Amino acid sequence: MTTMTREETEALIQEVLEVYPEKARKDRAKHLTVNDPNVEQSKKCITSNRKSLPGVMTIRGCAYAGSKGVVWGPIKDMIHISHGPVGCGQYTRAGRRNYYAGHTGVNVFGTMNFTSDFQEKDIVFGGDKKLEKLIDEINTLFPLVKGISIQSECPIGLIGDDIEAVSKKKAAELGKAVVPLRCEGFRGVSQSLGHHIANDAIRDWVLPRRDEDNRFETTPYDVALLADYNIGGDAWASRLLLEEMGLRVVSQWSGDGTLSEMELTPKVKLNLLHCYRSMNYIARHMEEKYAIPWVEFNFFGPTKIAESLRKIASFFDDKIKEGAERVIEKYQKEADAVIAKYRPRLEGKRVMLYVGGLRPRHPVGAYEDLGMEVVGTGYEFAHNDDYDRTIKEMGEGTLLYDDVTGYELEEFVKRIRPDLVGSGVKEKYIFQKMGIPFRQMHSWDYSGPYHGYDGFAIFARDMDMTLNNPCWDKFQAPWKKAALAKAA
Amino acid sequence: MPSVMIRQNDSGQLTFYVSKKDLEETIVSMEHQGPDQWGGEVELADGSRYFLDPLEAVPRLPITLRAKRL
Ligand code: SF4
């Protein structure tokens, strides 16, 4: 099928909405739209960050997932306690593939699960005592731990435990950072509020710790890499480029990051923000309190990388600007070779995405570099400002879906028949069984990195490997195929 | 009285940001622009109007202030 016109896409939305009861249809209609790049403000065409409808299958997570899983989890030299029953932490343990360096269980703790394992009696009598004991045990068993964060699960807010008091007491006793997070899963409409709560906790409990301390020797080229979670090594691939152009990366948030890197971030000259949604809050705060400007960038695909490197360099002197040009020149040849190899195999293929914070819009450039087109995209938990940014990136007539339901996504895919779908693991097998190539775009389908020039080579290979896999034409039994061929 | 952050965007315009309400709008007019008074009534690009208690001098941006909806 060729690309659909605006009218056809609009008709498709209406058709898909048909099955809902009237009230639900009216509500869902606000979350689905056809892109018009000329619209200045997304709120005129799409509604976002609203509570999901009861009864539909949503693909969202909870505030705890946003705080523990996304923002805090990757801080490797701290222990993050999943405070409450055991399941929330255990079933998500090590699922996000944030790579880190170090000796797990000795000086880093990324893939381990720590929980206060609430039982009935903790709910009835409160869990503060247990929490204190747990913190003491952690400190005895893992003396190299730099700090502890307490990530509240649902029951904590319901029974009214005072985790702030425990944190203050224990922080004074141990002389280490102990950070309480009120990120109970029932707060807010999605994991997005969890990011915000996590950012606020960093603002209140981490950044001020070195306000008076000026021993850190700064250079004019210090930057912080914010909101890169090092999925499959993403942050490493990004950091390489920044260092090669002459910048000094003081801290990585939070992929492969440490507590002390976070504490030192207020000393940098510029904050580089990759995933706007999950960390814009703290970037805005640092701009206000420490006068550190921030800049959004995009390290997917050579076109966007070159654009971003130049944008970052524009904040510095000629030395860095030359550095950026040098880096672009050096790697452009590599990228051109990748494009020469894969573009002929991928040219003209159509992609539909449905992911989280930045991936519905950032990789679009990388797909375009490979001659592919993104025909539909949407976010699980975006806000208006994300759609403001998306509308400009996308072509006329692209289908946009916010907090799409399982049913809607399936119907859209059935009708649009894209050549590739990129979404999460819950969607993966549905679409593969429909016979549509699929990439898991949250954890890069056990691959990565995808950021930077090195990542682009892997990205291109993975897309080719998935799309042109010989399995896709084996969906029909050979005798049925023969019958079809005869009939034709 | 939401708490709002006033910031200068890349093109030099003032923006009005309320994180709780997911609102980021450019400011089209502000009653007092300095040098000895800053704030007062502001109008946003979407037509809504707010009131900021006037400050004595032009502040360093960004700055977080309380605003009243008019
Ligand atoms: S919603 Fe509550 S119980 Fe469920 S995973 Fe989140 S914190 Fe745990």
Which residues make Cβ contacts (< 8 Å) with residue B31, sequence separation at least 6?
B39, B40, B41, B42, B54
A132 pLDDT band, cuts 50/70/90, is very high
The pLDDT value given to residue A475: 84
pLDDT digits (tens, 9 = 90+) for B18-48: 877 777 888 999 999 878 899 999 999 888 8
| DSSP H or E run through A28 | helix A22-29
pLDDT digits (tens, 9 = 90+) for A431-478: 999 999 999 999 999 999 999 999 999 999 999 999 999 999 888 888
Cβ within 8 Å, pair B63-A288: yes
A383 vs B contacts (CB less than 8 Å)? 22
A488 pLDDT band, cuts 50/70/90, is low
A195 is catalytic: yes
Q: Which top CATH class is B3-69?
A: mainly beta
Q: Is the pLDDT of residue A129 over 60?
A: yes
Residue pairs between chains A and B whose CB atoms are closer than 8 Å: 23
Burial per residue of A286-324, b for 16 or more beta-carbon CB atoms within 10 angstroms, e otherwise: bbbeeebebbbbbbbbbebbbebbebbbebbeeebbebb
Q: Is the pLDDT of residue A125 over 60?
A: yes
Instruction: State which of A52, A62, A92 you would mutate to test the pocket of ligand 1, scoring each by most atoms of that ligand within 8 A of its C-beta.
Output: A62
Q: Is the pLDDT of residue A482 over 80?
A: no
Cβ within 8 Å, pair B22-A385: yes
The pLDDT value given to residue A146: 97
Compute the distance from residue A183 Cα to the ligand 1 centre, in Å: 9
A63 is catalytic: no
Q: What does the pLDDT average to over A254-262?
A: 95
Domains in chain B: boundaries? 3-69
Average pLDDT, chain B: 88
A1 pLDDT band, cuts 50/70/90, is very low
The pLDDT value given to residue A351: 96
pLDDT digits (tens, 9 = 90+) for A364-421: 999 999 999 999 999 999 998 899 899 988 988 899 999 999 999 999 999 999 999 9
Interface mutation target, options B24, B26, B65, chain A, most CBs of A under 10 Å: B24
A83 pLDDT band, cuts 50/70/90, is very high
Q: Catalytic residue among A28, A80, A83, A96, which?
A: A96
Cβ within 8 Å, pair B5-A384: no
Residues with CB under 6 A from ligand 1: A 62, 64, 88, 153-154, 185
Q: Is the pLDDT of residue A187 over 90?
A: yes
Is the interface score ipTM higher than 0.90?
Answer: no
Average pLDDT, chain A: 94
Lowest mean pLDDT among A155-169, A316-330, B49-63: B49-63
A65 is catalytic: yes
The pLDDT value given to residue A41: 82
- With an 8 Å Cβ cutoff, is B19 touching chain A? yes
Q: Please state the pTM of the whole predicted model.
A: 0.93
Q: What does the pLDDT average to over A106-121?
A: 96
Distances (CA, A) of A131 to A106, A148, A240: 22, 11, 40
Q: Catalytic residue among A28, A31, A63, A65, which?
A: A65
Asked if B45 contacts B28 with a C-beta cutoff of 8 angstroms, the reply is: yes
Cα dihedral: A333, A336, A340, A341 (round 10):
80
Q: Find where tokens 């710790």 sit.
A: A209
Q: What does the pLDDT average to over A20-35?
A: 95
Q: Which of B15, B7, B18, B39 is nearest to A293 (CA)?
A: B7
pLDDT digits (tens, 9 = 90+) for A219-255: 999 999 999 999 999 999 999 999 999 999 999 999 9
